[in-house]
Structure 1
């Protein structure tokens, strides 16, 4: 009996000793978890809309064909700007072209416009809207070999068709060259600025030499890598940023 009482007291003492230390460890862990939780909540509350947009753009990227675009500043030394997009309807495309050719009273040109639009889309061209102007975005791989400013023939038929329906208007063609952020350094192209500008000039020369568009209606400019559509996070994203944008500027904007 004495042995049983002694064992009971010993067991009780061990439990008391264990409890007296264990609750402090558990309480300390709880405090650490609560502190981590509140720090996380505070940091999340400090994220503004722009930061969230940048995060989603980085993971999702831009949208597909038939898109509209606006510029959004980026906090980078090169002053790059991302663009976010929304859809444009065929009706808006036709309204723009019709507004530039108001002297044509009949509606026979509408099927012609639709045919041109289909030819451009099949060729990989995307159509955007920038304010009152239309932007035809041509993928760089379809126009130029890497590091080259010589136009390939792939998109020339579609561009000829575009120029044919615009020959009756006085719309300006502003041609913008864009590259990705991979540096280039050759004798002819010391940087992406020269490469993008020369590519834009090549497209302009094509319009002068092979279409009814006169030189007075053409402008060319190179932006290098300063106006990406999406962040240059992968080869696919960089490919999207290598492009030529042909902007049809309404006569009123000149």
Structure 2
């Protein structure tokens, strides 16, 4: 009698639930990537990842299959040259700001120069006063015969009026430092008051500054004086005319930022 062999079939677990489960995990992963990416990267990188994810879900190549992955975090600032929205570096921005300040100062000093030049013209002082705007200052040059008697450091009455007028103009530009410098010719001096031209030039500068400072609207902190004696001539000392030019007081309104030589301004505006 032939025995009937029972066929045993192994029971298989139903695994169809794995498919939606895997899809759910994929969707969750995509969601976390999008949330992470949107908080740490710019719009271009965000769009790139979105396109990759869309391609992956529709059967194309995914973001993770790309040979070069777009970084989610920008490189450190020390590794790149910082630029503003216009693509300018910090150094370029600083240079532009400095140039704007120079232009502003130039305009202000030109304005002051015009006021002094007008005063010179109105009072027929062309032979006694002169202004010059350079790359680092506005200089007012006053011949000594307009200020002092020969060998003296005491200001003449008219010179005191001139100093008061200049001080009134300077009150409108409180941001600038002012230097008052005295100069002489090379003729030696020796009298009861002064031993050398150094002493005479320094005392003349101080006395002129004191008249400027009688204006209570001007801060003394803005001022300094210096006596150059005979050692900074602007003309020859071999002629009487040259000596007269060398005897002078210079009032210099100093720029806060030195202007490049290529942008210097001289002469009348």
Instruction: State the TM-score, normalizing by the size of structure 2.
Output: 0.51
> Which residue does 2:223 correspond to in 1?
218
More helix by share: 1
Q: 1:202 is matched with which residue? A: 207
How does 1:74-223 map onto structure 2 within 5 Å?
Answer: 96=105, 98-99=107-108, 114-121=114-121, 122-123=124-125, 124-169=128-173, 170-210=175-215, 212-223=217-228
CA contact (8 A) 1:173 1:248 kept: yes
Mapped to 2, the partners of 1:196 and 1:224 lie a distance apart of 5
* Post-superposition offset of 1:209: 1.6
**Offset of residue 98 of structure 1:** 4.1
Q: Write the distance in 1 (CA, Å) between the matches of 2:104 and 2:170.
A: 13
Residues 1:239 and 2:244 are matched in the alignment:
yes
Partner of 1:70: none
Given that 2:237 and 2:243 are in contact with CA atoms closer than 8 Å, whether structure 1 keeps it comes out as yes
Using CA pairs under 8 Å that are at least 6 residues apart, name the structure with larger relative contact order, 1 or 2: 1
Determine helix, strand or coil for the equivalent of 1:146.
Answer: coil
TM-superposed CA distance for 1:156, in Å, is 3.2
In structure 2, relative to structure 1, the CA distance for the partners of 1:224 and 1:160 (3 Å cut) is same
Paired residues, number: 151
Query: Does the 8 A contact of 1:163 with 1:211 survive in 2?
Result: no
- Contact map agreement 2:184 2:230 (CA 8 A) in 1: yes
Structure-2 separation of matches of 1:141 and 1:226: 19
Query: Do 2:167 and 2:213's aligned partners in 1 also have CA atoms closer than 8 Å?
Result: no
SS for the counterpart of 1:248 is: strand
Please give the alpha-carbon distance, in whole angstroms, between the structure 2 residues aligned to 1:245 and 1:116.
Answer: 14
CA distance in 1, matches of 2:169, 2:203: 26
- Cα RMSD of the aligned pairs, angstroms, is 2.6
- In the superposition, relative to structure 1, how do residues 207 and 97 fare at CA in structure 2: closer, same or farther (>3 Å)? farther
1:217–1:230 Cα change, 3 Å: same
1:210 deviates by 4.0
Match 1:228 to one of 227, 230, 233? 233
Counterparts of 2:242 and 2:163, CA distance in 1: 25
Q: How many Å separate the matches in 1 of 2:114 and 2:139?
A: 16
Measured against aligned partners, the alpha-carbon deviations of 1:179-224 in whole angstroms (never above 9, x if no partner) come to: 0000001232100000000000001111112463221111110000
Separation in structure 1 between the aligned mates of residue 159 and residue 216 of structure 2, nearest angstrom: 13
Provide the rounded CA distance (Å) in 1 between the counterparts of 2:113 and 2:132: 16
Q: Which has the larger radius of gyration?
A: 2
Tell me, in whole angstroms, the C-alpha distance in 2 between the residues paired with 1:211 and 1:186.
34
Distance 1:139 1:211 in 2: 26
Deviations 1:140-187 (A, max 9, x none): 001000110001122333333332232132211100000000000123
Structure 2 residues not aligned, in runs of 5+: 1-102, 259-269
